[in-house]
Structure 1
Amino acid sequence: MRIASQVLFLWTMAKRILILDDDKDILYFCSIISEELGLEVETSNTTEDIVSQVQAKSPDIILLDNWMPGPGGLKSIALLKGDVRFKHIPIIFFSANNDFDKIAQNSQADVYLKKPFDVTELEQVILKQLNL
């Protein structure tokens, strides 16, 4: 098992995740999970200047909460998926909103998860979206 985790670490070592959530606990939780997968982690507590953030941080994958300061999750997804430079970046969209299933299905997110999400499920979704 140790060799498998070392191989996984080497495969993901060059991959970067941008986690956007205004909840410090969620940022911490998702950062730890991502680091354990061997990802380089960037975080933000706002979607203000989302395009500039993504351009500067060059993520390979984005984990994005719906209710955020700034334009928020839905508008941020539309901005990124509408930009030829970023539309290829997988976006995992999540929220605790009761109507989230309806909201998410109308978004352009690659995957959506309802909070609270399972650690194993989050890990599997991240790895699948990164083709690892």
Structure 2
Amino acid sequence: MNKQKIAFWVSTVLFSVFMLFSAYNYIASEEMKQAFVHLGFPDYFRVELAVAKAIGSVVLLLPMLPRTLRGFAYAGFVINIVSAAVAHLAIGEPVSSLGFVLIAAILLTISYFSAFCPCAKKC
């Protein structure tokens, strides 16, 4: 297995587990429910986001799915990560509170570029 495939699988599995854990907490954790209220989001958005994160994570982990579908999952996660950062900063939280958002962004970036690298045949 070459370096690119290892980078893809490690980053994608870590990112997907992170997102699945997040989705589970959105549904099961009372603390997370209160966090959505604190951010000013309606309750249905929390459930909708949990479902979207679970589906997107599964899509990223199934390489037999069409590349276009995985591209949409990556795009959705980018929108989610950017929106999370904006939401936290908009309510006055410090940049230092964005640690998990930064980790997710780094993992997603590694996953994307190792999956869609133009040099995929050469790496």
**Structure number with higher strand proportion:** 1
Q: TM-score of the superposition, structure 2-length normalised?
A: 0.28
Of the two, which has the highest radius of gyration?
2
**Structure number with higher helix proportion:** 2
Q: TM-score of the superposition, structure 1-length normalised?
A: 0.26
Question: Greater RCO between the two (CA within 8 Å, min separation 6)?
Answer: 2
